[in-house]
Structure 1
Amino acid sequence: MIELSLVGIGSGNPEHLTLEAIRVLEEADLILLPRKGDEKTELADLRRDIVADLLKTKPKVVEFDYPVRDAKTPKYLDGVNTWHDALAEIWTGLIAEHGSSNAKVALMVWGDPSLYDSTLRIAERVATKGISLNTRVVPGITSLQMLTAAHAIPLNTLGAPVQITTGRQLRDHGWPEGVDTLAVMLDGECSFQHVLDVPARIYWGGYVGMPQQILRSGELSGQCDEIIETRAKARAENGWIMDIYLLRRTA
């Protein structure tokens, strides 16, 4: 039985790792470490630093290149599923090549494996490929937690619901009825510009929890152009960006 641990590491800040996360990584026989292209070498470097600087043991580390998702696939979910299948094949091959029959294998997951992350779905695919697999999750600090902490705001208003959604959903379907607070993730197109007719405040953060963290907040209509410009500039300077924002209707 292979034990696969998906370890949430927050934004890669060593202070974000729980004691459990460090212990599980130290007990691993094999750590799979993804590389996501030359523009995102910093993300791989942060994972390498965690292994080198925080772990008292020296687990075997095997790096692999992330396949690129085909964004031109007509149906979005078809492209995602094909991409997940490719990743599952890579994981399966690496585990078979570098792990023993009862190895403890770990993957460091940005943020937490439960919040708009696909590692759990990929692990399900691996379990269907002839590998006896026991998957566990070690929770990590999410980008949503880091965003609300950075802006020193509560996630919800009193007695009111919160909806966590994606930029694609906001762009295609607008502001959902009956919800005053939206947490928006995976938005590469600044989809908040499609709901400027709604009186709202925005709390935006790029690289939240990291040294280069950028924060903007204020009335959505007044902050829209500023955030778009700031985001584009940061991406050009760093070669990549991870951002998240919260939208809240105003009375």
Structure 2
Amino acid sequence: MISEQIINKLVELGTTVGLKILTALIIFLIGLQVAKWIKHLLETALTKKEVESTLVKFLGKILYIALISFVIIIALNQAGVAVTSIIAIFGAASLTVGLALQGSLSSLAAGISLIILRPFKIGDLIDGGGSFGIVEEIGLFNTTIKTLDNLTIIIPNDKIRNEKIINYSLKPIRRVDLVVSIGYGDDIDKAKQLVKEILSNDSRILADPAFTIHLFELADSSVNFAVRPWVKTSDYWDTYCDLTETIKKRFDEEGINIPFPQRDVHIYNHN
């Protein structure tokens, strides 16, 4: 039969272990609630500062995972589990995973950079990562762009970050750059006045900055004007196309030629 001394030791050991496990469980439950509370505080603070929602959720999850990991280590240590080996194994595993996902981590870092620095936002028309289109989504790893012919392009964020980005929507106004050509035999002053009237009658063209019309080139087959009106960014393409059409029709009505490239050939006969 088991002696009374052994029974007492078993009861004492069970009580000690039980108290440690109970304490560890309490630490874990309290830590879980504290981690959720801190995560909520961080997300609320970042949201008030108008940080991108994708980054807010990501940072909240990272902080929550870090806090839970810390709480688990404290709880295991309280329960009497040797956590040194666990930490070492976790560190080695993290290093292995990091090396295996090096490319993805690069895109992740680029995604965080794009979200924080905000060189563009959803709805902007950009030229980046070798693609031209409207930004539909800015993810942590990829950015989705819809081209003007309604194709969807998914670009890794590190490719966008490492290349030049042109944002056509960032500024509220844009300058329309038109080259208007007339023939060498046409009246320069008349052509310039007609273009000025067309620009003045277009309500989309801004008064400030004022448009400019300059003769800037005597080309091989034409006399070229640089026509530079300013418009709202949202009106750019419609104005560009409409002005091109209106100028062509008005020149036709007034008998002003828009010449095509041509070359005079002189033939000499030698006996």
TM-score by length of 1: 0.19
Higher strand share: 1
Who wins on radius of gyration, i.e. which is larger? Answer: 2
Of structures 1 and 2, the one with the larger relative CO (CA 8 A, separation 6+) is 1
TM-score by length of 2: 0.18
Higher helix share: 2
